[in-house]
Structure 1
Amino acid sequence: MSSRDDLQTRLERGIAALGLRLPEGAVQRLLDYQVLLARWNATYNLTAIRDPAEMVSRHLVDSLAVLPYVQGETLADLGTGPGLPGIPLAIAAPGRQVLLVDSNGKKVRFLREAIRALKLDNVRAVQSRVEGVEGQFDCVTARAFASLGDMLDWGGHLLARDGIWLAMKGRHPQEELAGVPAGFEVRAIHALAVPEVGGERHLVVVGRAPGQAGC
């Protein structure tokens, strides 16, 4: 079992490899989140990853890899599960208002406990299907949530006129690009190098097509 010092070293190494600088205290809060996730996971099976070191790399560092692409003052994380990437992103940028959305009751109970325990004043969690969420956000994130077409069909109304949608994918989603619905366009696809995580990682950046206002 990795000690907290070992996990902190692994996390700090990942943050440095990504070229990020986080606010004071963020590393400890991220580790507190990992401890809470591991504790709840033993009972509620929130994630298939159980090894603490793997949680640091595959959950915390993987989430932080998209931080340079996040923009604006409001963010909605759809299909967030146990808060990924939303909670790490909220810890890394505490001035941004973050809404965590999931339809699974036990995961939302965990999210609310994490928000309380970690004192994440900038974060709210809602139990809802994506279609039922209201509001518009400068940035929308989704991690392995659904195909590009489905996620935009279900949640496209949440994207502000000048907002960006960040879809976290494994392999390059070439076969999904044709399914992007009218009114949206793929702006970029970035290959992400996530330290100590094998396999491909890609980030698809989507925006509203020119002339398309927010719903």
Structure 2
Amino acid sequence: MDDLAWNPFGALSAEQREKMEAFEEQLLRFNPRVNLISSETEDAFRTRHLLHCLTLTARGFPDGCTIVDWGTGGGLPAIPLAICHPEATVVGVDSVGKKVRAVRTIARRLGLENCFTWNGRAKEWTGEVHYSVSRATAPLATLWQWHRRVAVDLQPPPREDEWEQGVLTLKGGNLSGEIADLRAMDSDASVARHSLEDLLGRNSFFGEKEIVAAHS
């Protein structure tokens, strides 16, 4: 990964790198029993999973904000974001109890006091959120519905070098239909697309994958 145009690992402190390595170790220890990620991708965890999630750190998240990871699965991107943003509160939501229990245990073992989990359906989560994140969990319009139901404004608002409040989702493929569905549901929603190939360089693994950012 040394040939990346932008390498998010380079911005990590020594302590954060240690926690990322510990996260990998813990997740791979749980994986045979809980199936947190595909076993076929275990050997490429740092590229296929960790680097993919860390692209969300291309911009900042304000101190004191709450980030909800809908369909967190193996804690991706919840745990990497909690490591990178210790002053944010990160909540991993998932309907699969054994995955939630595994993520909760991993977060505790890593000493992540800002990372929490909740087991249940996304549309039933109660709380307040400033940012919603996900990785191939649901269509954009569905994510937008989940987010808008519980979204509250940040005070003060995000700085120019921080993400605008809203949904940040890691997706790939033809997204024209998903974006059209979102705009049909909410004409006030704005969508920005950030190519991971543009961000990381043309030799990156991610090809046509993107960060899709939706906000009001």
TM-score, normalisation: structure 1 = 0.82
Gap change, CA 1:198 and 1:177, over 3 Å in 2: closer
Deviation at 1:59, TM superposition (A): 1.0
Gap change, CA 1:156 and 1:200, over 3 Å in 2: same
- Equivalent in the alignment of 2:146: 154
- Equivalent in the alignment of 2:74: 82
Give the strand-richer structure, 1 or 2: 1
Deviation at 1:20, TM superposition (A): 4.9
8 Å Cα contact 2:147/2:167 also seen in 1 = no
Alignment of 1:125 with 2:117, yes or no, is yes
**CA distance in 1 between partners of 2:178 and 2:59 (Å):** 21
- Equivalent in the alignment of 1:185: 189
Q: Give CA deviations for 1:133-166 in whole Å, capped at 9, x if unaligned.
A: 1122221101101111122223431332462210
3-state SS of 2:82 partner:
helix
8 Å Cα contact 1:49/1:55 also seen in 2 = no
- Equivalent in the alignment of 1:95: 87
**CA distance in 2 between partners of 1:105 and 1:15 (Å):** 38
- Equivalent in the alignment of 1:3: none
Alignment of 1:37 with 2:27, yes or no, is yes
Equivalent in 67, 77, 83 of residue 57 of structure 2 = 67
**CA distance in 2 between partners of 1:154 and 1:103 (Å):** 14
8 Å Cα contact 1:169/1:201 also seen in 2 = yes
- Equivalent in the alignment of 2:166: 164
8 Å Cα contact 2:196/2:206 also seen in 1 = no
Q: Give CA deviations for 1:168-189 in whole Å, capped at 9, x if unaligned.
A: 1012511111111226513311
**CA distance in 1 between partners of 2:40 and 2:3 (Å):** 20
3-state SS of 1:145 partner:
coil
- Equivalent in the alignment of 1:107: 99
| Identity across matched positions, percent | 28
**CA distance in 2 between partners of 1:187 and 1:198 (Å):** 20
Q: What letter matches 1:203 in structure 2?
A: I
**CA distance in 1 between partners of 2:122 and 2:133 (Å):** 12
Q: What letter matches 2:50 in structure 1?
A: L
Across the aligned residues of Structure 1 and Structure 2, the Cα RMSD in angstroms comes to 2.3
Where does the alignment leave 5 or more consecutive residues of structure 2 unmatched? 155-164
- Equivalent in the alignment of 2:177: 175
Q: Give CA deviations for 1:5-34 in whole Å, capped at 9, x if unaligned.
A: xxxxx5x87696248512331111111111
Gap change, CA 1:152 and 1:87, over 3 Å in 2: same
